[in-house]
Amino acid sequence: MQSQKHLFSLDENITYLNCAFMSPLMKQVEEAGIAGVLRKQKPNLVTGDDFFSETKALRQEFAKLINTADSDRIAIIPSVSYGLANVAKNLVLESGDNIVVVGEQFPSNVYPWREVASNSNAEIITISAPDGMQDRGKRWNEAILNTINSRTKLVAMANIHWADGTLFNLIDIRKRTNEVGALLVIDGTQSVGALSFDVEEIQPDALIVAGYKSLMGPYSIGLAYYGAAFDDGSPIEQNWINRNESDDFANLVNYSDDYQPKALRYGVGEQSNFILVPMMLAALRALNEWKPEHIQNYCKSITEESVKKLTEAGFIIDDAEFRAANLFGIRLGAHHKMDEVKSALTKNNIFVSYRGDAIRVSPNVYNDKTDMEKLTHTLLSC
């Protein structure tokens, strides 16, 4: 795979290595959004079928991206917190049960569990990153596996850690949750799209993904996969479109107590957004054409030389086996000062994020080796 920078409208004077904050829009995604805005000028041309045709195509594209043949297991959501709230509402806990999360996990994947645990007198067990960088990813994964026990009802985590890209071994974690009868719920926002995620292989109970980062779509739309554990659940929202036979507009006043099948019951109201849906659809079609494994390999190809130079200079970066190539943390050595590093990066128009003690670098297909070389040169100059 080669750089796709020409498909984006990034300023040539900046170096944007911050997809984990927000991806830029592809030109074709932007055009789809503009067409959606203009469509509202002529509402007489919008039909009842239009409320379902593009959302169906969107669910099919996302199903393809995560390798599930059943697009009825995909729901359109406005945010990760919305998708996780559907899980929380259907989670059955008793006093003494526990929920396992990882340390410094994104707040949207912590707050719902704190609420349901408090209501049920259950426990939140947080597995923090181990001290020291030697075999850090390996030891963190081992700690998660060793913590899951017979009272664990849910393991809620990400595929990669949002702050520094630490990779978690979901296959082994899924095996362990199956042994104790616990649910596995994944926030894939920082990985799905840029890193392969195979539902058939991992078999999560739920996978929730925001659209505006690695999926390269607009803000305020996302996708969620819900497995069989949620087939008979109750959604957080009672809207017309998640009810059975909602596609029959003439019959809507004959109210139904039955929901749409599988994950369709969990979709947000007004999900047929005629601006956001075509934008998200255009982005997913591009990702399915490129394929996440190729994007991940491309990110590795443009970053590996920089990682080598930085580690030789005393910067600290996790071993390749336990970090993603599309998102990773750079920690300072003893002789580096964060204030000086931030100042130098800002001065050189290099956009990254700072999470905890890590400089979070998140390249994607609109970057190339030149971008990474500029980052490396700036850091080495500090």
pLDDT at 337: 86
Amino acid sitting at position 294: H
H/E run at residue 341 = helix 338-347
pLDDT at 29: 98
pLDDT at 382: 87
Rounded to 5 degrees, what are φ and ψ at 318?
A: -55, 155
pLDDT in tens, the chain (382 residues): 999 999 999 999 999 999 999 999 999 999 999 999 999 999 999 999 999 999 999 999 999 999 999 999 999 999 999 999 999 999 999 999 999 999 999 999 999 999 999 999 999 999 999 998 889 999 999 999 999 999 999 999 999 999 999 999 999 999 999 999 999 999 999 999 999 999 999 999 999 999 999 999 999 999 999 999 999 999 999 999 999 989 888 788 889 999 999 999 999 999 999 999 999 999 999 999 999 999 999 999 999 999 999 999 999 999 899 999 999 999 997 777 889 999 999 999 999 999 888 899 999 999 999 999 999 999 999 8
pLDDT at 251: 82
Residue 25, phi-psi category: left (phi > 0), alpha (psi -120 to 50), beta (remainder) = beta
Strand partners, 125: 100
Sign of CA dihedral 215, 219, 220, 221: negative
Residue 245: count other Cβ atoms within 10 Å of its Cβ. 11
pLDDT at 24: 98
Residue 352: count other Cβ atoms within 10 Å of its Cβ. 23
Up-side HSE of residue 154: CA atoms within 13 Å toward CB?
Answer: 28
Report how far apart the first and last C-alpha atoms of the chain are (Å, whole number): 32
d(CA 46, CA 56): 16
Angle of CA points 266, 272, 273, to nearest 5°: 115
pLDDT at 248: 84
pLDDT at 356: 83
pLDDT at 366: 98
